[in-house]
Amino acid sequence: LAKTTQPISMDSYEGQEVNITCSHNNIATNDYITWYQQFPSQGPRFIIQGYKTKVTNEVASLFIPADRKSSTLSLPRVSLSDTAVYYCLVGDIRDYKLSFGAGTTVTVRA
């Protein structure tokens, strides 16, 4: 499993865009990048997944440069309800042993 490094915490205000960068220098050819969100007292929830370039869904965007050694999760116009821990996972898409690091605690203030 590729090791990932992401900031421990980030603060933001409502309506701002939040960008969380994850470093994964040892990413393998078959690895995908997946982001999960975890609210207090809940289990993780899948947000977005990508292999290269840019992926966008109704919740977030994921930017992956050509060398794939990092990725950036972008949350547009955050609200208080986006306060959560965000995890970056890197691994083979078929690997069922999900490995979560400490994640990035995003706190959105009014």
For position 80 contacting other proteins by CB under 8 A, the verdict is no
Kindly state the number of chain residues that form the binding site for other proteins, as judged by CB under 8 A.
Answer: 24
What gap in Å lies between CA 104 and CA 36, rounded to an integer?
11
Binding to other proteins (CB under 8 A) within 26-65 occurs at 32, 34, 41-46, 49
Binding to other proteins (CB under 8 A) within 82-101 occurs at 87, 89, 91-101
- Smallest separation (angstroms) from other proteins to the CB of 40: 11
The angle subtended at Cα 96 by Cα 101 and Cα 40, nearest 5°, is 45
